[in-house]
Amino acid sequence: MTEVTQPALTIDALGKKCPIPIIMLADQINHVPLNAVVAVLADDPAAFTDVPAWCRLKSHKHVGSYELAGGGWAIHVRRNY
Amino acid sequence: MGLVAYFDAASTEPLHPQAREALLAAIDVGWADPARLYGQARRAHLLLEQARTEVAEALGARPDEVSFTSSGTQAVHLGVLGTLHGRRRAGRRLVTGAVEHSSVLHAAGLHERAGGEVETVGVDLSGRVDAAAFAAAVARPDTALACLQTANHEVGTLQPVPEVAEACREHGVPLLVDAAQTAGRLPVPPGWSVLAASAHKWGGPAGVGVLAVRKGTRFHSYLPEDERERRRVPGFENVPAVVAAAAALRAMTAEAVRERSRLSALVDRIRQTVPEVVPDVEVIGDPVERAPHIVTFSCLYVDGEVLLTELDKAGFAVSSGSSCTASTLRPSHVLEAMGVLTHGNVRVSLPRGASAAEVDRFLAVLPDVVRRIRQDAGVA
pLDDT for res B158: 98
pLDDT for res B324: 64
Q: How far is CA B70 from CA B205, B211, B221, in A?
A: 11, 10, 15
B356 class by beta-carbon count within 10 Å (0-12 exposed, 13-18 middle, 19+ buried):
exposed
Check whether B45 has a pLDDT greater than 90: yes
The shortest C-alpha distance from B281 to chain A (Å) reads: 9
* Domains, chain B, with CATH or none: 5-12+257-376 (3.90.1150.10), 17-251 (3.40.640.10)
Answer yes or no: do B342 and A23 touch at CB < 8 A. Answer: no
The shortest C-alpha distance from B8 to chain A (Å) reads: 23
pLDDT band at B197 (very low <50, low <70, confident <90, very high): very high
Q: Residues near B216 by Cβ (< 8 Å), separated by ≥ 6? A: none
Answer yes or no: do A49 and B280 touch at CB < 8 A. Answer: no
Check whether B326 has a pLDDT greater than 80: no
Mean pLDDT of A50-67: 97
Check whether B325 has a pLDDT greater than 80: no
Mean pLDDT of A55-74: 97
| Region of A71 on the Ramachandran plot (φ > 0 left; ψ -120 to 50 alpha; else beta) | left
Q: In what order do the strands lie in the sheet with A73-78?
A: A9-12, A37-42, A73-78, A61-67
Go through B140-176 and write b for each residue having 16 or more CB atoms within 10 A of its CB, e for each that does not. eeebbbbbbbbbbbbbbbbbbbebbbbbbeeeebbbb
pLDDT for res B328: 67
Q: How far is CA A16 from the centre of its chain?
A: 13
Cα separation of the two ends of chain A: 27
Would you tell me how many other CB atoms lie within 10 Å of the CB of residue B63? 15
Residues from chain A that touch B344, judged by Cβ atoms under 8 A, are 19
Reported in sequence order, the residue ranges of B139-251 that DSSP labels E, i.e. its strands, are 143-149, 175-178, 194-198, 209-213
Q: Read out DSSP for B266-329?
A: HHHHHHHHHHHHSSSEEEES-SSSB-TTEEEEEETT--HHHHHHHHHHTTEE-B---GGGSTTS
Check whether A1 has a pLDDT greater than 60: no
Check: CB of residue B338 under 8 Å from CB of residue A56.
Answer: no
Q: Which of A22, A26, A49 sits opposite B339 (nearest CB)?
A: A49
Q: How far is CA B303 from the centre of its chain?
A: 26
- Distance, in Å, from the CA atom of A25 to the CA atom of A12, rounded to the nearest integer, reads 10
Check whether A4 has a pLDDT greater than 60: yes
Q: Read out DSSP for B336-369?
A: HHHT---TTEEEEEPPTT--HHHHHHHHHHHHHH
Q: Chain A residues contacting B, CB < 8 Å?
A: 17-19, 22-23, 26, 44-46, 48-50, 52-54, 56-57
- Distance, in Å, from the CA atom of B187 to the CA atom of B335, rounded to the nearest integer, reads 26
Closest chain B residue to the Cα of A58, Cα to Cα: B280
pLDDT band at B321 (very low <50, low <70, confident <90, very high): confident
Q: How far is CA B255 from CA B23, B97, B211, in A?
A: 20, 31, 24
User: What H or E segment, with its residue span, contains residue A51?
Assistant: helix A45-58
Check whether A3 has a pLDDT greater than 80: no
Answer yes or no: do A50 and B341 touch at CB < 8 A. Answer: yes
In 3D space, the residue among B294, B349, B354, B346 whose CA is nearest the CA of residue B324 turns out to be: B346
> For B62, phi and psi rounded to 5 degrees?
-90, 150
Q: What is the pLDDT of residues B237-293, one digit of tens each?
A: 999 999 999 999 999 999 999 999 999 999 999 999 999 999 999 999 999 999 999
CA dihedral A64, A67, A68, A69 (to 10 degrees): -150
**Residue percentage of chain B with pLDDT more than 70:** 98
- How many residue contacts between A and B have a Cβ separation below 8 Å? 63
C-alpha neighbours within 13 Å on the C-beta side of residue B202: 34
User: What H or E segment, with its residue span, contains residue A3?
Assistant: none
Reported in sequence order, the residue ranges of B9-158 that DSSP labels E, i.e. its strands, are 66-69, 93-97, 117-121, 143-149
* Domains, chain A, with CATH or none: 9-78 (3.30.110.40)
pLDDT for res B1: 47
Residues from chain B that touch A53, judged by Cβ atoms under 8 A, are 282, 339-342
The shortest C-alpha distance from B278 to chain A (Å) reads: 14
A55 given a catalytic annotation: no
Q: What is the pLDDT of residues B21-41, one digit of tens each?
A: 999 999 999 999 999 999 999
Q: What is the pLDDT of residues B154-173, one digit of tens each?
A: 999 999 999 999 999 999 99
Q: How far is CA B194 from CA A31, B2, B105, B131, B197, in A?
A: 56, 44, 16, 19, 10
Q: Write down the mean pLDDT value for chain B.
A: 96
User: What H or E segment, with its residue span, contains residue B243?
Assistant: helix B239-277
Q: Residues near B171 by Cβ (< 8 Å), separated by ≥ 6? A: B138, B139, B143
Go through A21-56 and write b for each residue having 16 or more CB atoms within 10 A of its CB, e for each that does not. bbbbbbeebeebeeebbbbbbbbbbbbbbbbbbbbe
The shortest C-alpha distance from A3 to chain B (Å) reads: 25
pLDDT for res B3: 79
**Residues β-bridged to residue B175:** B146
Q: Residues near B267 by Cβ (< 8 Å), separated by ≥ 6? A: B156, B290, B292, B293, B294, B295, B348, B350
Check: CB of residue A15 under 8 Å from CB of residue B297.
Answer: no
